[in-house]
Amino acid sequence: MRVEVRLKGYLAAISPAARFEIHLPTGSRVNDLLDACFSRLGKDLRNEILDASKESMAENVFVFVDNGGRKKQVSLDSVLHEGSVVTFVSPLAGG
CATH of the domain at 77: 3.10.20.30
Number of domains comprising the chain: 1
pLDDT (0 to 100) of residue 27: 94
Beta carbons within 8 Å of 25's beta carbon, 6+ residues apart = 1, 32
Residue 59 falls within a domain, yes or no? yes
pTM here is 0.89
* Residues belonging to the chain: 95
Q: Is the pLDDT of residue 52 over 90?
A: no
pLDDT (0 to 100) of residue 94: 60
Determine the structural domain holding residue 63 and report its residue range: 2-90
Residue 95 falls within a domain, yes or no? no
Return d(Cα 31, Cα 22) in angstroms, integer. Answer: 13
Would you place residue 45 in the very low, low, confident or very high pLDDT band (cuts 50, 70, 90)?
Answer: confident
Q: Are strands 2-9 and 85-90 parallel, antiparallel or unpaired?
A: parallel
The stretch 48-65 carries a mean pLDDT of: 88
